[in-house]
Amino acid sequence: MKYSYHVHSTFSDGKVSIAKIIEHAKILGLDEVGISDHFHISVDDILIPCDMELNEFDNYINEIVSYEKQTNPKVKLGLEIEFVFETMDQLKKILFQKPLDYIIGSVHMINNKIIDSSIDSLPSNFCTDIVKEYWIKIRQMAECKFFDIVGHMDLTKKFNLKPKIDISKEIDAALNAIKEADMTVEVNTSGFYYPCKEQFPSTHLLKKCKKLGIPIIVTADAHLPEHLTRDFDKAFKLLKEIGYSKLAYFTKRKRFFTPLE
């Protein structure tokens, strides 16, 4: 089974329309393509620059649902949502009874500051307090037991900056919470194209996930249709070496598995 779930359209920060994404997915011979544009309910109603406008949300849902009878490829309805603990109740009300297939939970912001836009914008305490807080937020996100997939876990390494303090306790607590919440971790191949030159999360963390029995899905974080399956073969090879034999996929918020081939 061939599929790609972490995909952005012009509803957020993708470069082409949903129709163009689906068209290219068909050319690639994908069985499924999932659209997962950015969505975010902030405390102060300020959007992250890549976010979908709230007044576009219903149009987004309706456009993807309009493809529900299509089978070549099947089109899945997803979202990538910025985790904000304070607005979780509001978020749940907005998403109530929406026909979502999966929700990717991500952390791009710490203390209301974006941590992955540019290395020059990072605060001086990034490699200490910020990276520690990142893993605390990943744990808190998992503890909500609302999201299906952990998005680009290990994002703080994007600019190839290493923690200057021991964060092993925070990482282990986050992974244990992910396991307890029965979430799936994505292997996000976009990391190969950033200064870190490695998938998200790291090979070391993927081995920890395997030991804990945390399921995996391979994604591209595609913003262009030609990136839909970028470096999937590389990720599949790594996962087989680690010991994974199956990948997760989703339908109406329920997880299923397909062999890792």
Question: What is the C-alpha to C-alpha distance for residues 213 and 179, in angstroms, rounded to an integer?
Answer: 7
- Give residue 47's pLDDT: 64
What is the widest separation between alpha-carbon atoms in the chain?
51
pLDDT above 70 as % of the chain: 99
Does the bond joining 73 to the residue before it have cis omega, within 30 degrees of 0?
yes
pLDDT-wise least confident of 36-40, 42-46, 74-78: 42-46
- Give residue 46's pLDDT: 65
User: Cβ of 85: how many Cβ atoms within 10 Å?
Assistant: 11
pLDDT exceeds 80 at position 48? no
Question: What is the C-alpha to C-alpha distance for residues 135 and 141, in angstroms, rounded to an integer?
Answer: 10
Question: In Å, what is the CA distance from 258 to each residue of 25, 31, 147, 156?
Answer: 19, 12, 20, 30
Question: What is the C-alpha to C-alpha distance for residues 147 and 176, in angstroms, rounded to an integer?
Answer: 15
pLDDT tens per residue across span 203-254: 999 999 999 999 999 999 999 999 999 999 999 999 999 999 999 999 999 9
Which position has the token pair 């406008």?
53
Residue 72 confidence class, pLDDT cut points 50, 70, 90: very high
Question: What is the C-alpha to C-alpha distance for residues 156 and 200, in angstroms, rounded to an integer?
Answer: 10
* Mean pLDDT in residue range 78-84: 96
* Mean pLDDT in residue range 64-69: 95
Q: What is the CATH number of the domain that holds 79?
A: 3.20.20.140
- Give residue 209's pLDDT: 98
User: Cβ of 158: how many Cβ atoms within 10 Å?
Assistant: 19
Domain membership of residue 80 as a residue range: 3-259
- Give residue 44's pLDDT: 78
Question: What is the C-alpha to C-alpha distance for residues 216 and 227, in angstroms, rounded to an integer?
Answer: 19
User: Cβ of 145: how many Cβ atoms within 10 Å?
Assistant: 11
pLDDT tens per residue across span 153-178: 999 999 999 999 999 999 999 999 99
- Structural domain count, the chain: 1
